[in-house]
Amino acid sequence: MKKLTVPLLLVSTSAFAVISPNCQTFTTNANPSGAIGQLIPGDCTSIWDTLKASSRFPDTFQYNKTLPGFCFVSANPIPAILNGNPVNLTALSAWTNDFLPAFPPGPSSLGHDNLATAVTQVTVYDAQNTLLGIQTLGKLYTRDSIDLSPVIFGVGYGVSEQDTIVGGSGAFLGARGGYRIDAFLDVSGSVNITRINGSICPAL
């Protein structure tokens, strides 16, 4: 008997059917006026607790490591497009001590690297079929590398980030892939996202 394999599903209670067993594009529309979403400084204690409870980043939270006190949470849902379908994202993120960047610039900087590293939880919501309320599709868990060179060397406030998907839940169980985030920092310490572009792939 031929074994039936089930591809990565994106399912809501209504119209989100099976999209593809292949990698799916994950991107955002450009906003001519600036940012499409914002991550603001958040309470590290609660964010660390949530990320630790996910069990996706055991090395980050073992041995009572001292983590940098830079944590972020989405100010509002961030609009995105997954394989042509509108979705909304919320996120919480915490920097790790895998790299310690020369940030903030000056004598109080964390270290001497140009990169920062982070772990992030992204919750994806169906933005297309909301008659029955907000439908949660699942969560993505990523490990992130953030290039802070422009800020560190005083040539701008733009930062680029590469996020590698290390797992997921719900419709994204076993997900892999990755995406790039372009953003800029502002004086309040917030991260203003201008673009997301990448792909989400089903489990092998």
Is 54 inside any structural domain?
yes
Residue 69: which domain range? 24-201
Whether residue 15 is predicted with pLDDT greater than 70 in this model: the reply is: no
Residue 117 CB neighbour total at 10 angstroms: 18
pLDDT in tens, 116-162: 999 999 999 999 876 666 789 999 999 999 999 999 998 889 999 99
Is 131 inside any structural domain?
yes
Paired with 149 in beta bridges are none
Dist. CA 18–CA 29, nearest whole Å: 23
The tokens 């422009």 sit on which residue?
150
Is 7 inside any structural domain?
no
Is 10 inside any structural domain?
no
Is 16 inside any structural domain?
no
Is 12 inside any structural domain?
no
pLDDT band at 20 (very low <50, low <70, confident <90, very high): low
Q: To the nearest whole number, what is the mean pLDDT of the chain?
A: 86
- CA-closest candidate to residue 80, choices 44, 127, 12, 46: 127
Domains identified in the chain, total number: 1
Phi and psi angles of residue 47, each rounded to the nearest 5 degrees, phi first: -70, -45
Is 174 inside any structural domain?
yes
The count of C-alpha atoms lying within 13 angstroms of the C-alpha of 85, restricted to the half-sphere facing its C-beta, is 21
pLDDT higher at 53 or 13: 53
Q: Are 113 and 75 in contact (CB under 8 A)?
A: no
pLDDT the model gives residue 121: 98
Mean per-residue pLDDT, 9-20: 36
- CA-closest candidate to residue 178, choices 120, 136, 137, 99: 120
Is 2 inside any structural domain?
no
Mean per-residue pLDDT, 2-24: 44
